[in-house]
Structure 1
Amino acid sequence: MELSIIIINYNTFELTCQCIDSIYKETKGVTFEIILVDNASKECDPKLFSDKYPDIKLIENKVNQGFGRANNKGMELAKGNFFLLLNSDTIIINNVVNKGVHYLNQDKKNGVYSCHQINDISSIKEPEYSFFFKDFSLFYLLKNIPFIQIIYSKYLNKSSKQFSKGINKVNNVSGAFMLLKHEVFEKTKGFDPDFFLYSEETEWCTLRINKKWNILFSTEEKFIHLEGKSGVKDFTLNQDFLSTAFTWYKKGYFEYFSFLFIHIFLYYPSWLILFFVVKSENKKRTLRLIKIFNNCFKQLIFDIPKYKNNYGARKNFLRYK
């Protein structure tokens, strides 16, 4: 078996079927298996997947185990030399999977591959430079203070377009389409089970994978990602911020408390000031940032530091309450 494709389903039956159909249609020249992990969906009986696709391997979780733990479960059962972690709200096009396998095979140091996301076949979304080359430094935090962002917006916009055409070596890729060698999972143990949702791929890539392997991103190849179709907005915004903060904690205690200090004494006051001075169309965004920080504050202060920051240190994953 060359490739194991792992998909997590949570109440997205139609989207997941669309994703699976695209795999069968657009994946040529490589033998593959599909492992579908259902995270205790209530939308319909997960066995409907087996009825429609007899060849897939279906894992039915009794409770929602989150993105990372569910993917780890699928990878533990996978037989392929390569694993493709694929969101249920994605669509494969142009034989992109086989091309990714080809790139990883070119060098034994190549460990992970991903490519350009598009919203649909005609709408190209520019890669976010800061996401793929994200670091966890005091400088990174300071340069993103709202007032500094405004002052240097022109510079930041230019830096977001510093990809070379073709293959780039990056620090981080999206978990929506993450192709990796089997040995990467074996030697790093996969996603940190302390994460529930969001930023788990950032922690895995930036803090563990890129210490031993190249992480590749292609600007030429593409897949469709129907973002926002598989989540509840209010919950996801809070969970996203909480998981981002948690990645700083996983990086180190000094980094995390720097993150807290800068957010409490620099970011938060800046948001409050901006709320009263920005134009009305930007007030909603500023108010949303204030609300997210307020909603997560208790967990930032008490829940995250409650456990050590090593891999799998928590009794339960970190979920926004």
Structure 2
Amino acid sequence: MNVACPVSTPGSAPVGAVVDVHIVVVTHGHFRYLEPCLTSIFENTDRASLKVTLVDNLREPRVTELIRGRFPQVELVVNEAPKGFAENNNSAFAGTPARYCFLLNPDTVVKTGAVDKLMDWMDAHPELGACAPKLVYPDGQIQLSCRRFPSVGSVILRRTPLRLLLGESAFTRGYTMADWDHNSHRSIDWMFGAAIFARREAWIEVGPLDTTMFMFCEDIDWCLRCHRAGWGIDYVPDAVIVHDFDEEKYNRYFTRGRFRHYKTMLQFFFKYPRYCLRW
């Protein structure tokens, strides 16, 4: 089921116009985040013309009511059955006319000018296939949302109880890039899938997200393929987005989510065996 209401409003592109940025937000029971997220997109974007698609993965009637009542300019896609993160985004971006594709989590709030700044940086650097904004927690603390590519050692030390014994070492700080203040532009290996700003040409050349990775590691995989295709990826610190990420819940051991993460990390290492040899 696809419900689309192509209405032009401030911050959105006129019907039929070339669009600068296509933003896709996938909700899987994230209703409480949707209004502040969508409001921030339109209120805090000035120059970039937008197409915004919301994918409702759980067929919640209240989501449809919210979009029809508050955000008629948003294209609403209601899934018949839940799909994975990769499949939802791939379907939404298929055939997009926009110059840039922006994968954005629903638990985010876009700060003033963030989308414009990401677009400007990409326009000024045609060698880039994607870029990442600065993600911060609701209290303003920097979120370590860009990383170096993983190794077996980094996964073992960060994703097993060994972390409780060894704490944060220089080794793990290097992987999470905690050894850098995140206040300067720089090239990065990969960024969280919570906010990936990709050039359409790179998205097409690199290919969509890997749907065999139902959740987790799709972002690492896509960024690695992007680099291998010859595109760069940058971090843009002046484009700020608040991400209400529950770090404590995410880092719990022996949860379903943690085992799903282990599974997709194994998929990643089998797909790219050279990373199994790195400690």
What TM-score do the two structures reach when normalised by structure 1?
0.69
Deviation at 1:57, TM superposition (A): 1.0
Alpha-carbon distance change, 48 to 180 in structure 1, aligned in 2, over 3 angstroms: same
Give 1:239's aligned residue.
Answer: 260
Distance 1:201 1:158, change over 3 A: closer
Q: How does 1:268-307 map to 2 (within 5 A)?
A: none
Q: Between Structure 1 and Structure 2, which shows a larger proportion of helix residues?
A: 1
Alignment coverage as a number of residue pairs: 252
Q: Does 2:170 match 1:155?
A: yes
- Cα distance in 2 for partners of 1:235, 1:38 equals 22
Secondary structure (helix, strand or coil) at the match of 1:227 reads: coil
Once the two structures are superposed, residues 107-162 of structure 1 have per-residue CA deviations (whole angstroms, 9 ceiling, x without a partner) of: 22111111221111x4313526xx511244x6656877977996795533764213
C-alpha distance after superposition, 1:163-196 (max 9, x if no partner): 5742110110111111111111111221011111
| Match 2:149 to one of 112, 120, 134 | 134
Is 1:123 paired with 2:144? no
Look at both structures and tell me which one has the larger radius of gyration over its CA atoms: 1
The separation in 1 between residues aligned to 2:73 and 2:136, in whole angstroms, is 29
Alignment partners' CA distance in 1, 2:266 and 2:77: 31
**Whole-angstrom CA distance in 2 between matches of 1:36 and 1:58:** 5
Distance verdict in 2 for CA 1:165–1:18, change over 3 Å: closer
Cα pair distance change 1:40/1:104, threshold 3 Å: same
Whether the 8 Å CA contact 1:167–1:217 is kept in 2: the answer is: yes
1:187 to 177, 197, 205: 205
- Number of the residue aligned with 1:95: 113
Taking the TM superposition and a 5 Å limit, the aligned residue runs for 1:210-221 are 210-211=227-228, 212-221=230-239
Cα gap change, 1:240 to 1:53, in 2 (>3 Å): same
Match in the other structure for 2:10? none
Q: 1:55 to 1:219 in 2, by over 3 A?
A: closer
> Matches of 2:161 and 2:31 in 1, distance apart?
40
2:209 and 2:259 map into 1 onto residues whose CA distance is 20
2:190 counterpart residue number:
172
Instruction: Give, as a single letter, the amino acid of the residue that structure 1 aligns with 2:171.
Output: L
Where 2:197 maps in the other structure, the secondary structure is strand
Structure 1 consecutive aligned stretches of length 4 or more whose deviation exceeds 4 Å: 138-154
* Conservation of the 8 A alpha-carbon contact between 1:11 and 1:43: no
Q: State the alpha-carbon separation in 2 of the partners of residues 48 and 94 from structure 1.
A: 23
- 8 A Cα contact 2:132 2:197, kept in partner: yes
Structure 2 residue 55 is the aligned partner of structure 1 residue 37: yes
8 A Cα contact 1:174 1:201, kept in partner? yes
More contact order relative to length (CA 8 Å, sep ≥ 6): 2
SS at match of 2:23: strand
Compare 38-47 and 185-194 and name the one that shifted more: 38-47
SS, match of residue 105 in structure 1: helix
The answer for unaligned runs of 5 or more in structure 1 is: 263-321
* Residue equivalent to 2:64: 46
Of 8-17 and 83-92, deviating more is 8-17
Which ranges of structure 2 fall in alignment gaps of 5 or more residues?
Answer: 1-18
